[in-house]
Amino acid sequence: MTLLLRLILPALFLAMTAVAPGSAQTMYSPNVEIALVPMHQWAAPGSTAVVAVRQDIRPGWHTYWRNPGDSGGATELTWTLPAGVSAGPILWPLPERQPVKGLMNYGYSRQVYLPVPIEVPRAAKAGTMLPLSVKVLSMVCSDEICVPDERSVTLDLPIRDGVPPLIAGEGAAIERIVDAAPRPADIDAHIARDGADLVLTLRGAVLRGTALANAYLFPFEGGIVEHPAAQRAEREGDDLILRMKAGGAVLAGGLAKPVQGVVSTSQGAWEITAQARAPPGRAGGTSATLFAQAALFALIGGLILNLMPCVFPILAMKAASLSASAHSPRTARRDGIAFLLGVLTTFILLAGALLVLRAGGEAAGWGFQLQNPAVTAALALVMLAVGLNLSGVFAVAMPGSGAGSGLTRLPGGTGAFFTGVLAVVVAAPCTAPFMAFALGAALVMPAPMALAVFAMLGLGLALPYLVISLSPGVLRRFPKPGPWMDRLKSILAFPMYGAALWLVWVFARQTSGEALALILAGGLLLAFGLTLWGWRQNARMAGRGARAATAVSLLSLLTAAAVTLSAASLAPGAESSGEAATETPWSPDAVATARAEGKVVFVNFTADWCVTCKVNERAALATGGTRALFADAGAVYLVADWTRRDDAIARELERFGRSGVPLYLVYAPGKAEPEILPQLLTPGIVADAVKRAGEKG
């Protein structure tokens, strides 16, 4: 509990001071004393003076470096200076490593000087005093608790001509810190992700003869490395190599920008800026292994995807297609390959769009297209149209085909290709086992490797259909074509109608009641227009004209499209949030508040378009037993609803290496990281996880 308070108090304090800076009560800690002291006895006009914030810290307590590590907060300075006077950044001394209960912090103990350069204007007059004032915000922590300290300290700096002497004692101490403060040096640095590790390669004359045991990187930003993990140093010729465990930000988003920090060695400490490159001599090593593992998991995930509920409507279309071509091996092979091409093309296009969005700074994840109400509405009407086609209401005939050839299904290889397209679009809301790792890894790989992983996912989805279509022995077991095929197609139309209804429900959750009414009207007009189009096709087969039916059909279809666009453009209504009375919307603050109270926290990352999520909720989370379990354990149930785009949820998914939902987290009191549950839940899995979390508290 005390560790939780230590982690949470800094954020709460900074939030309070950010909301009401003018009225926030000054916080004071008896465990630190603050003073503003000069390095020289005076400052000359037009010179750069150095003053330092001195922190005298009680034994057992510490303050923090610019990157505090796994908890705490860096000391912040807010200056009040005369006109023409400016203060530079802190010249941070090299910090200490401070392990705390499995965490690693960077900071200072006992006494530390934080030097700051002050630019004195040439207009400053000798014989006057330069009043300096600074508000110092420090986090002062022990191994058990953190206390924020905020106070203002002042210094009147004399202005005189000539070269000022050092102040005895303190001035010399500040000078030593300024001289030893890490600065940029002639060091060539580059860094690369190698699986779950980071490889930092350094080369420079100042590093020659450096003892390997003392080499360490202090990154300027959190999330780059796992702070508590050991950093292993080795030599490769003139290069100093540091291997570190990659932090959460790198695992989620890759090395999107250069890594800056301080490298400390036995020879000294220097600031570095490491550009992202391939690790020396290892370009095809662990990275290739990670790619192979991700590709294999994607293939397995694609195979399992065929068994997920959201793909059932496409299975109906596959069954109808196989039945029609079972006794024509050449046609079956053509359709199987066309279906595979449709699946692969769509997967690669979706993956490319996802990578482009993420490269542009968008927080997009798998299934991102269904977060757009316009896409959801369009897909609902497409599913309705496919169902009507299978029911025999109208035919899709290719140019040049016989008059009666289109009265079956989407015709030929083109129909098989677009069935593959639909399979991917409809499968997007589902996440099968093994997919989470594969997609999370793909999104931090170079684009060609990422696209290859997505292609393997598509291959897994299409593989069963492809294997059957290329197996004459299996195809011969299908019954011969006959009237039963029309009856089968009529039956298989109903999964498509079910998919259309489900998408309409998702659309309603994303928008409003008025939009729902419009999309229902659009569906009615679409059905009417396609029915008239079927009459037109029958009339032309009989040699009769059908101008009126054609005109009314086209008018109905155009009106359906216009109504659907209008529905998708409406803003969401208040009723679209869909939160049940027993659920609390997720937010980082909600998690922090519940954990500060020592409660078990269960977080459900879900979306209405995620069928797997809904199945899990119905089977394992919305049951009376699970609700009673949460109540008995005093657990807090938070729901992160990703039905509509939410960048905060997307970033949290990335933090755990996920690109889509579902994701289930269980936080135990006193434990820094949550337990991640499987993507397919049972009441027993949920109960065991909540009980484990309660026992650890």
Q: Which residue's entry shows tokens 């009989």?
A: 542
Position 210 scores a pLDDT of 74
In angstroms, the CA 578 to CA 510 distance is 9
Position 365 scores a pLDDT of 58
Position 444 scores a pLDDT of 63
In angstroms, the CA 232 to CA 216 distance is 8
Residue 603 reports pLDDT greater than 90: yes
Closest listed residue to residue 469, CA positions, set 335, 340, 304: 335
Residues 425 and 553 placed together within one structural domain of the fold? no
Average pLDDT of span 103-124: 92
Percent of the chain with pLDDT over 90: 17
User: What are 211-258's pLDDT values in tens digits?
Assistant: 777 889 999 988 888 888 888 888 887 888 888 888 877 765 667 678
Residues 553 and 674 placed together within one structural domain of the fold? no
- 204 touches 187 (CB < 8 A): yes
Residues 107 and 211 placed together within one structural domain of the fold? no
In angstroms, the CA 674 to CA 690 distance is 11
Looking only at the bridges linking them, the beta strands covering 216-219 and 259-265 are antiparallel
Average pLDDT of span 84-92: 92
Confidence of residue 3 (pLDDT cuts 50, 70, 90): very low
Position 284 scores a pLDDT of 43
**In the numeric block, which tokens belong to residue 306?**
């065929």
Confidence of residue 639 (pLDDT cuts 50, 70, 90): very high
436 vs 50 pLDDT, higher one: 50
Three-state secondary-structure class, residue 572: coil
- 364 touches 370 (CB < 8 A): no
Average pLDDT of span 253-266: 81
Residue 589 reports pLDDT greater than 70: yes
Residue 75 reports pLDDT greater than 70: yes
Three-state secondary-structure class, residue 643: coil
In angstroms, the CA 692 to CA 96 distance is 35
Closest listed residue to residue 408, CA positions, set 433, 428, 431, 390: 390
**In the numeric block, which tokens belong to residue 613?**
């999520």
Confidence of residue 17 (pLDDT cuts 50, 70, 90): very low
Burial of 539 (0-12, 13-18, 19+ CB in 10 A): middle
Residues 370 and 485 placed together within one structural domain of the fold? yes
Average pLDDT of span 367-392: 78
DSSP string, 492-523: HHHHHHHHHHHHHHHHHHHS-HHHHHHHHHHH
- 270 touches 262 (CB < 8 A): yes
**In the numeric block, which tokens belong to residue 24?**
């926030």
Residues 524 and 617 placed together within one structural domain of the fold? no
User: What are 609-618's pLDDT values in tens digits?
Assistant: 676 777 788 7
Residues 253 and 233 placed together within one structural domain of the fold? yes
User: What are 331-365's pLDDT values in tens digits?
Assistant: 888 888 888 898 899 888 888 877 776 665 555 55
- CATH code, 604: 3.40.30.10
- 507 touches 375 (CB < 8 A): no
Residues 210 and 150 placed together within one structural domain of the fold? no
Confidence of residue 323 (pLDDT cuts 50, 70, 90): low
Position 582 scores a pLDDT of 58
Which element (helix H / strand E) includes 691?
A: helix 683-696
302 vs 23 pLDDT, higher one: 302
In angstroms, the CA 276 to CA 263 distance is 17
Percent of the chain with pLDDT over 70: 80
Q: Report if residue 637 sits inside a domain.
A: yes
Confidence of residue 82 (pLDDT cuts 50, 70, 90): very high
Position 118 scores a pLDDT of 94
Contacts of 233 (CB under 8 A, 6+ apart): 212, 213, 215, 240, 241, 242, 243
In angstroms, the CA 219 to CA 263 distance is 8
Position 77 scores a pLDDT of 93
Cα torsion for 94, 224, 66, 62, to the nearest 10°? -70
Residue 326 reports pLDDT greater than 70: no
Could you give the number of structural domains in the chain? 5
- 575 touches 396 (CB < 8 A): no
- CATH code, 239: 2.60.40
Q: Find the domain containing 198 and state its range.
A: 184-276
Contacts of 82 (CB under 8 A, 6+ apart): 130, 131
Decide which of 519, 550, 574 is a domain's last residue. Answer: 574
Closest listed residue to residue 465, CA positions, set 584, 354, 578, 342: 342
Residues 47 and 136 placed together within one structural domain of the fold? yes
Residues 88 and 20 placed together within one structural domain of the fold? yes
Residue 22 reports pLDDT greater than 60: no
Position 367 scores a pLDDT of 61
Residues recorded for the chain: 697
Question: What is the average pLDDT score of the chain?
Answer: 79
Q: Report if residue 584 sits inside a domain.
A: yes
Which element (helix H / strand E) includes 426?
A: helix 412-427
- CATH code, 22: 2.60.40.1250
User: What are 461-494's pLDDT values in tens digits?
Assistant: 888 888 888 887 777 777 666 676 677 777 777 8
Residue 14 reports pLDDT greater than 50: no
Closest listed residue to residue 257, CA positions, set 281, 285, 221, 286: 221
- 610 touches 617 (CB < 8 A): no
Q: Torsion-angle region of residue 209: left (phi > 0), alpha (psi -120 to 50) or beta? A: left
Residues 154 and 66 placed together within one structural domain of the fold? yes
Q: Report if residue 37 sits inside a domain.
A: yes
**In the numeric block, which tokens belong to residue 237?**
């010729």
Contacts of 229 (CB under 8 A, 6+ apart): 244, 245
User: What are 519-557's pLDDT values in tens digits?
Assistant: 888 888 888 888 888 888 888 777 777 778 778 888 888
CB atoms within 10 A of CB 370: 25
Cα torsion for 588, 591, 594, 598, to the nearest 10°? -120
Query: What are the backbone angles phi and psi of residue 437, rounded to the nearest 5°?
Result: -65, -45
User: What are 181-196's pLDDT values in tens digits?
Assistant: 888 888 888 888 777 7
Closest listed residue to residue 499, CA positions, set 303, 660, 308, 323: 308
CB atoms within 10 A of CB 69: 22
Position 432 scores a pLDDT of 62
Q: Report if residue 486 sits inside a domain.
A: yes
Residue 135 reports pLDDT greater than 90: yes
279 vs 648 pLDDT, higher one: 648
Taken in order 566, 567, 572, 574, is the CA torsion positive or negative? positive
Cα torsion for 108, 111, 114, 115, to the nearest 10°? -140
Lowest-pLDDT range of 6-10, 491-495, 628-632, 655-659: 6-10
Q: What residue ranges in 126-207 does DSSP mark as E strands?
A: 129-141, 146-158, 183-184, 188-194, 197-203
Position 412 scores a pLDDT of 64
Residue 445 reports pLDDT greater than 80: no
Q: Report if residue 501 sits inside a domain.
A: no
Residue 113 reports pLDDT greater than 80: yes
637 vs 318 pLDDT, higher one: 637
How far does the chain reach from its first CA to its final CA, in angstroms?
8
Decide which of 246, 276, 306 is a domain's last residue. Answer: 276
β-pair partners for 107: 64, 96
Average pLDDT of span 150-164: 91
Confidence of residue 580 (pLDDT cuts 50, 70, 90): very low
Position 134 scores a pLDDT of 93
Closest listed residue to residue 408, CA positions, set 486, 343, 513, 523: 486
Average pLDDT of span 196-215: 82
Query: Amino acid letter at 145?
Result: I
Angle (nearest 5°) at CA 585 between 515 and 5? 160
Decide which of 227, 250, 276 is a domain's last residue. Answer: 276
Residues 385 and 488 placed together within one structural domain of the fold? yes
In angstroms, the CA 412 to CA 418 distance is 10
Taken in order 179, 184, 190, 194, is the CA torsion positive or negative? positive
Contacts of 679 (CB under 8 A, 6+ apart): 431, 432, 433, 436, 612, 616, 662, 663, 664
**In the numeric block, which tokens belong to residue 70?**
């796994």
Q: Report if residue 505 sits inside a domain.
A: no
